[in-house]
Amino acid sequence: MTTTVPAVTTRSGRRAPTRPGPRAWAALVGAETRMVARDTAGLVMPFGMPVLILVMYGVSDATTMVLPGSGGRTAFDVFVIPVVLAIVVGIIGVINMPSFLAYYRRSGVLKRLSVTPASPAMVLVAQVVVSIAQTAGGVALALVVATLAFDARLPASPGVALGVLVLASAAMYAVGMLVAAVAPTPNAALALGLVAFFAFGATGGMFGAVSNLPEPVARVGELLPFGAAVQALGDAWAGQPVEAAHLVALGGAVVVGTVVAARWFRWT
């Protein structure tokens, strides 16, 4: 004998949708994790490229050039490590995440979810959760390699460095959501993400000291997410006060990217 559980209805007589529980969330995050794990190129870039850059600079004079006013830290500590960490969050937030979301929209996954109790927004949340886990893994790997292989020192202000890293990640994710909102196809999302990432990086110190850039370009680069993250992390590593302009730039990227992405994002 079976027992039928009556559906929950609203006052208007319509059937109320069942809200997904913890198991549904866990299953969705697990599915996103498996999807990301199958994307070999998407894993190699945020984990392999930063390590390669560490090795390139680790055999240079950057590891022995002590900077004044940095508590005995070297150029490798204050400049190279912040650039590497910004690369990790930038690749994951601006390149990888938008590609997945654009693929889900193009393949109809988001549209099918819109007619189920599992809202399409759950996919966004699950993708952000997986991206945060990737970022944590990439940052941890970079710091382990830097400290063990090249005797790098941890930040003089670890709490400030962590806060800046969280804010920088949020800024990169917001830019990534904007890319996903305007890109019509997964290939377009990948192309736009690459252009945005390298534009931010080129003006923010990824290819060398910003002092080598024309002053107007360097000033603009410091206010873009990559450059602002590098400058703020460098200050935290050296134990110096973080400039308010860099924090405002990162916070502004979070707000603008989120608002515009929410306005333009299409589920189908």
Cα three-residue angle 54-59-63, rounded to 5 degrees? 80
Residue pLDDT, tens place only, 60-75: 888 889 988 888 899 9
pTM, 2 dp: 0.87
Residue pLDDT, tens place only, 165-222: 999 999 999 999 999 989 989 999 999 999 999 999 999 999 988 988 999 999 999 9
pLDDT reported for residue 5: 41
Model confidence at 112, pLDDT cuts 50, 70, 90, reads confident
Model confidence at 28, pLDDT cuts 50, 70, 90, reads confident
As a whole number of angstroms, the distance between CA 56 and CA 68 comes to: 23
Residue pLDDT, tens place only, 230-263: 999 999 999 999 999 999 999 999 999 999 988 8
Identity of the highest mean pLDDT range in 35-44, 97-106, 135-144: 135-144
Q: Phi/psi at 11 (nearest 5 deg)?
A: -65, -25
As a whole number of angstroms, the distance between CA 32 and CA 171 comes to: 22
Distance of alpha carbon 47 from its chain centroid, rounded?
13
As a whole number of angstroms, the distance between CA 238 and CA 254 comes to: 25
